[in-house]
Amino acid sequence: MGFKISRSQALAEVISQFPVTALPIEEFEQYKRECIDYHDIPAPPIHIQLQHPAHIDTIGRDKLMERPSTARVEDLHHVHIWQEGCCWQDGHGLKVQWASTSDSYVVYSYFIDRDKDHHFYIIDYCRDAAHALIEDKGQVSDWAEQAKKFRLQNV
């Protein structure tokens, strides 16, 4: 099986207008390459995230979205991205991945595409107030619909 990462058109437009926003997306993409190398697909299992730091030090908790149910159907996830003010270290070094949270994250979906490749679709980057957005069922439903549309075009 191969491996692909695609970015939503909206995200690509934001990055072209504000190139500084490319860095967290590039770090996310590197993280997913590392996940593939470690067979952590689509994300490291929770028991691994509870025991070890993330593969990349600016990446935090990587979690499946469970509400509404369409988010789970579309294998919609969010992964926390380090932001200023976060403390992801303790006296022993980097905290475990599950303990590394922020109010910033990347929203992505995962599926096996028509080429039988692992495919990650980056839908959105929420730089601030991400926790408020994830509680907005309308917003999460919109992300799930974008994931479904992209998946159906690629399976």
Note the pLDDT tens digit of each residue in 55-97.
999 999 999 999 999 999 999 999 999 999 899 988 888 899 9
Q: Is the dihedral of CA 46, 50, 52, 55 positive or negative?
A: positive
When pLDDT is cut at 50, 70 and 90, the band that residue 129 belongs to is confident
Position 76 scores a pLDDT of 98
Cα–Cα dist 68/139, whole Å: 10
When pLDDT is cut at 50, 70 and 90, the band that residue 133 belongs to is confident
Q: Which domain holds residue 50?
A: 3-154
pTM confidence score: 0.95
SS3 6: strand
Number of structural domains in the chain:
1
Position 134 scores a pLDDT of 86
Position 1 scores a pLDDT of 85
53 prior amide bond cis, ω within 30: no
In this predicted structure, the answer to whether residue 132 has a pLDDT above a threshold of 90 is no
